[in-house]
Amino acid sequence: MKYPPKRNQRGISFLGLVVMVALGVSIFIVGAKVVPTVIEHQAILKAVEKAKTGNTVPEVRSIFDKAATIDDISSISGKDLDVSKNGDKVVVSFAYNKEIELFGPAYLLIKYAGHSK
């Protein structure tokens, strides 16, 4: 009597499934904490583009502060902007750090920087 050839099992074990789910949940949680900071950074870039229309440093900072109030920007303010001139164009640049608490003593540090076009 001949037995059919033994087929190798395919798939993932229960322990492998638990590890994959835990990894997926961890990535989702970190992503959920990072996305708002990225959205705020995009709002800051938009506000900087509006602010570069000013002619003087106080005017540029005032325009940025007004836009920051509308877009609920709390990471930086007008006084944190570096305003300079490149030829006849106003260039507004900024840099700031954002700390995100992960768990216990572990934090994620994101360094954002940018300038007007």
Asked if the structure places residue 65 within a domain, the reply is yes
Asked if the structure places residue 33 within a domain, the reply is yes
Of the candidates 14, 4, 2, 36, which has an alpha carbon nearest to the alpha carbon of residue 108?
36
61: amino acid identity, one letter: R
Of the candidates 112, 86, 81, 80, which has an alpha carbon nearest to the alpha carbon of residue 99?
112
| Residue 54 token pair | 């000013």
Asked if the structure places residue 83 within a domain, the reply is yes
pTM comes to 0.79
| Domain of 73, in residue numbers | 16-115
- Host H or E run for residue 30: helix 14-51
CA angle 77, 78, 80 (to 5 degrees): 70
Asked if the structure places residue 89 within a domain, the reply is yes
Asked if the structure places residue 78 within a domain, the reply is yes
Is 20 strand, coil or helix? helix
- Give per-residue pLDDT as tens, 56-97: 888 999 999 999 999 889 889 889 898 888 888 889 999 999
Domain count, the chain: 1
Asked if the structure places residue 4 within a domain, the reply is no
Neighbours of 29 (CB within 10 A): 12
Asked if the structure places residue 1 within a domain, the reply is no
- Give per-residue pLDDT as tens, 12-40: 889 999 999 999 999 999 999 999 999 99
| Residue 75 token pair | 């990471």
